[in-house]
């Protein structure tokens, strides 16, 4: 049996029905075990987490190593990537504002220190503040942003972890030209691209074409789907685009959803053509909105990976 070129990781979003209403998997050991069992049962190989889970890991599992042990006890390999979900704010934490850079760098030094007890592949970031806090997006701002992430990437590289950028449709760097410019300013040794299929589609950027253009910079993927493209001011809706934008209250769906806009077969073909070997992360945040269900969405997404995508490349 030939070695698998692609393995699948599941990204930290989950709700189940507790006696007092919906809870996430971190609610208790029991809910965490039920979550890990379900992820494993449908055939995922590993998980990704948000990095703010560190505090729950310390509080409930003795830290990232202890938590990873629990993950492994359920038959999953490890934690592959962590997503650094920062509270961007122009006053003290904004990649295009140089005065905030030292604070950001210190944040990453501390964060990487916490995670150093296990081996991660990537630390994933949204590389810019909300769009409405960055616009107008100028070449200067892109340059300053790129310089910051070069420095952060150097810090993370010291821990053997790749700093990789994930472009939300509502973040400052979301259009095709801006993305290209940004990567031109960054150092390939220290800054990678993490392709989120839905986020790009929503922003009217073809994720397959983007991937083909920057394949040598790509260190991972979020495979998720959407049914809507952002129109008008969706991407800069105040105070929030992700949940409050007029076009829809539910931007994200599991891959293979009916009327989905992402061409996953083309995406997988591109992954094969570029001989990418490694992890693909599956994500469908807020799957429980509008009558959805995390267990089912996850099962159906893994079915799609097994029955459609792995037929193309495995």
Q: Contact positions toward other proteins, by CB under 8 A? A: 15-24, 27-28, 34, 37-38, 40-43, 59, 74-75, 87, 89, 91-92, 238-240, 243-244, 249, 258, 286, 293, 295-296, 298-300, 302-304, 306-307
Helices (H), 158-277: 176-185, 197-202, 207-214, 264-273
Q: Least separation, in Å, of the C-beta of 105 and other proteins?
A: 18
Between residues 109 and 286, which has the closer beta carbon with respect to other proteins?
286
Between residues 119 and 307, which has the closer beta carbon with respect to other proteins?
307
Between residues 157 and 308, which has the closer beta carbon with respect to other proteins?
308
Round to whole Å and give the CA distance between 226 and 116: 35
Between residues 306 and 312, which has the closer beta carbon with respect to other proteins?
306
Q: At what angle do helices 54-61 and 64-73 cross, to 10 degrees?
A: 70
Q: Least separation, in Å, of the C-beta of 62 and other proteins?
A: 14
Q: Least separation, in Å, of the C-beta of 280 and other proteins?
A: 16
Between residues 273 and 290, which has the closer beta carbon with respect to other proteins?
290
Between residues 142 and 255, which has the closer beta carbon with respect to other proteins?
255
Q: Least separation, in Å, of the C-beta of 249 and other proteins?
A: 5
Helices (H), the chain: 29-41, 54-61, 64-73, 101-115, 131-134, 139-157, 176-185, 197-202, 207-214, 264-273, 294-304, 310-312
In angstroms, the first-to-last Cα distance of the chain is 12
Round to whole Å and give the CA distance between 259 and 284: 15
Q: Least separation, in Å, of the C-beta of 34 and other proteins?
A: 7
Q: Least separation, in Å, of the C-beta of 38 and other proteins?
A: 4
The neighbouring-strand residues paired with 221 are 195
With H, G, I as helix, E, B as strand and everything else as coil, classify residue 93.
strand
Tokens encoding 117: 């007890």
H/E segment holding residue 222: strand 218-223
């Amino acid at each position: 049996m030939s070695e698998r070129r692609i393995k699948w990781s599941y990204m930290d979003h989950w709700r189940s029905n507790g006696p007092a209403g919906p809870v996430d998997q971190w609610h208790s050991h029991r809910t965490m075990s039920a979550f890990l069992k379900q992820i494993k049962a449908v055939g995922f190989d590993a998980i990704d987490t948000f990095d703010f889970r560190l505090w729950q890991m310390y509080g409930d599992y003795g830290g990232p190593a202890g938590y990873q042990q629990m993950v492994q006890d359920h038959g999953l390999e490890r934690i592959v990537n962590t997503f650094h979900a920062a509270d961007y704010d122009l006053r003290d934490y904004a990649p295009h504002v140089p005065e905030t850079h030292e604070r950001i760098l210190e944040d990453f030094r501390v964060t990487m220190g916490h995670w150093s007890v296990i081996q991660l592949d990537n630390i994933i970031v949204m590389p810019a503040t909300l769009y409405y806090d960055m616009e107008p997006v100028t070449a200067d701002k892109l340059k300053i942003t790129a310089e910051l992430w070069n420095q952060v990437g150097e810090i993370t590289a010291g821990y053997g972890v790749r700093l990789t950028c994930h472009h939300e449709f509502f973040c400052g760097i979301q259009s095709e030209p801006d993305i290209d410019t940004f990567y031109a300013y960054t150092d390939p040794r220290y800054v990678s691209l993490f392709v989120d299929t839905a986020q790009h589609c929503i922003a009217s950027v073809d994720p397959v074409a983007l991937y083909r253009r920057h394949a040598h910079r790509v260190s991972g993927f979020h495979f998720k789907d959407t049914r809507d493209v952002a129109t008008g001011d969706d991407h800069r809706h105040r105070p929030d685009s992700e949940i409050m934008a007029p076009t829809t209250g539910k931007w994200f769906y599991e891959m293979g959803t009916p009327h989905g806009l992402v061409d996953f077969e083309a995406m997988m073909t591109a992954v094969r053509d570029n001989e990418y070997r490694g992890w693909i992360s599956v994500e469908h945040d807020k799957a429980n909105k509008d009558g959805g269900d995390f267990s089912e969405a996850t099962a159906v997404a893994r079915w799609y990976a097994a029955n459609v995508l792995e037929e193309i490349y495995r």
